[in-house]
Amino acid sequence: MPHVFEYVIVRAVPRQERGEFMNVGAIVYCASLRFLRCAVAVDKDRLRALDPGLDLEILDAALSSMHEACEGTGPMAGTGVGQRFRWLTAPRSTILQTSPAHTGLTDDPAAELDRLVHTQVHL
């Protein structure tokens, strides 16, 4: 039986004022399976084309925080899976932002995550 899942695309936004972004990952959440994972694929050369002065250490730190939140470690330890997904997808003005949430049905949320990264991040 398929399960409802939600997903967002993770975007790197090097310069807020320009409104430009590049897809760098995805997050998949399936409440019924208590599944919350993210996957990233960053093309640093393409990002530098948007902003040659981009601080990649800040981007890497933001991505690490995102991974910790998905895993329920770090500052998000002790919070529920749904609460972590909502925190990750809340609107923000930082180097990492997410697309609006989308829904679907799946038997395999991990395969959905792989598919999303392949189709939405790797071009």
CB 79 within 8 A of CB 98: no
Question: Cβ distance 69 to 84 under 8 Å?
Answer: yes
pLDDT category at 74 given cuts 50, 70, 90 is confident
pLDDT digits (tens, 9 = 90+) for 10-61: 999 998 888 889 999 999 999 999 999 999 999 999 999 989 999 999 999 9
Q: Which two tokens stand for residue 84?
A: 């972590």
Mean pLDDT of 77-88: 94
Q: What is the DSSP letter of 91?
A: -
**Distances from the Cα of 36 to the Cα of 46, 48, 58, angstroms:** 28, 30, 23
Q: Provide the residue range defining the domain that includes 75.
A: 3-121
Structurally, how many domains does the chain consist of? 1
